[in-house]
Amino acid sequence: MAENNSAIRSAAVIGAGTMGRGIAYLLALNGIRTVLYNRNGNNLNQARDYIVSDLDRKIDNGKITLQKKGQILANIIFSDVFDAITDSDLVIETIAEDEQTKHEILAAIAATVKPEAIIATNTSSLSLNKLAAGVENNPRFIGLHFFNPAPLMKLIEIIPSYFTSRATSLRCQQLVTALGKQFVVCKATPGFIVNRMARPFYLEGFRLLEENVALAPQIDRALKAGGHFRMGPLELTDFIGQDINYQVSKQIWQDMQFDPRYTPGHLQRSLVDAGLLGRKNGRSFFASQPATPPNPTTEGDTPTSLHFYGEHALFDHLQQRALATWPALRVQRLPERPELGRFILVNNRLAIKITDGRTANLLAGLTALDTFVIDAALNYADTAYLVAAHNQHATETNKALFLTLLQTLIAQVEFIKDSPALIVARVLSSLINESVIMVESGVCSRADIDIAAVAGVNYADGIFAWLAQLGQKNVKSTLDNMAQLLHSTRYYPHYSLLNAARPELAVAP
């Protein structure tokens, strides 16, 4: 095996499809002499045309010179001769996700390259350890999972198998850094970090739709406004392709021994069966979703008194806006109540509570008042859209009063079905729980989770930052109530969330 600090100066990429050509292009952009191999000459021509076209766009945009284009192209050898990979320091296979075919190509690579060459797979779904077992001299075998488009995406997952040597892993870490990318290191487990960590985002989006909690535009909009996601889960699966997203979910579910946390939705499967794949074939189920229903009019009573039980940033913002709107308003701050926690009492006739997973109907039984539950938001001060629910027999007058108060701070508040944890709190809590489980299982570190969240799936913040912001106690309560009301095993909080003394999980109250 080569020395740990030896640089990768030459590489080969097996397969000239979307991922293969992107990886080869990335390597060439960074001065690494690269062979792009494909036995089909047409695929090689298409890959060359793609790369040349992108370089021409860079010239037109003033990002590179014509001379630089020539240098980059000189770094790539497009070849249909397998022996062209012989002298490579690194070979990355990117062929179709078929286990037998990958075993065959990996064996051929191992028999062709020099003994110290690193052999990598870009698989996203197959067992890395099973692939490694069939590779001769497998301490040099590793997973390098790139994301599409490889030249633009900021993250590369590094996945050592049981057999991978430390030297191989370190050389790959040095390579990723030299490529200007960030890396995370994880065990060879289903979905690695990104695909497994992000699964609740997609799964809960479809579960909310299947449970008739809200319409697709409401689900997406709530998560973008309150959770700061760039796209909602339903529009994002349309963008990715419903077939691709469903297949990844199904594979992880199977590989995780059919754990109910990963069970794919029947609605997404039916979309795939119907050929409603989204943007890739111009057929989207969600494009025909009806507009959201109008809320009741907000004309009517105005707040005359507000009693805030407990402390929350929302309470401070709402008090400030309410007093600016109604200067004569009577305001009182009181300790939270044990059975209810933090809530707001309005005009001594209705209660408002940020969701803790309990429904408005359940809480109304404790308050003996019309009760309104509002969704979580990472920053209520900049949230323009929020969903809420009310108990079954709430009066129209109280609905109007609730909206009048909330809309002093949040431009649009919409009522949806009274359901556990509503939308944002349900999705964020599920993402947090999955990430905690991964860290506690030794799949990766907390730092890896947060890097993957920001650089891999473009979340606005790391998942453990959400845990700190929402509060461990609140996340645990939300999950507990979801487990009780929705699914006992799917949402049950990991035991480490019960122990706030753990320094790696402890957060400020």
Residues annotated as part of the active site:
124, 145, 157, 195
Q: What gap in Å lies between CA 179 and CA 26, rounded to an integer?
A: 8
Sheet containing strand 412-415, edge to edge, reads 330-334, 305-309, 343-346, 350-354, 370-374, 385-390, 412-415
Burial of 373 (0-12, 13-18, 19+ CB in 10 A): buried
Report whether 188 contacts 129 (CB < 8 A).
yes
Sole residue written with tokens 């990766």? 444
Report in angstroms the alpha-carbon separations of 226 from 229, 280, 289, 445, 507.
8, 28, 21, 27, 21
For residue 343, give the amino acid letter.
Answer: F
DSSP three-state, residue 491: coil
User: At 79, phi and psi to the nearest 5?
Assistant: -140, 140
Residue 229 tokens, joined: 């996601």
Angle at 358 between CA 290 and CA 405, to 5 degrees: 65
Q: State both tokens at 386.
A: 């929020």
CA proximity to 151, closest of 241, 23, 328 = 23
Measure the CA–CA gap between 89 and 74, rounded to whole angstroms: 18
Considering only CA atoms, give the Rg of the chain: 26
For residue 263, give the DSSP letter.
P
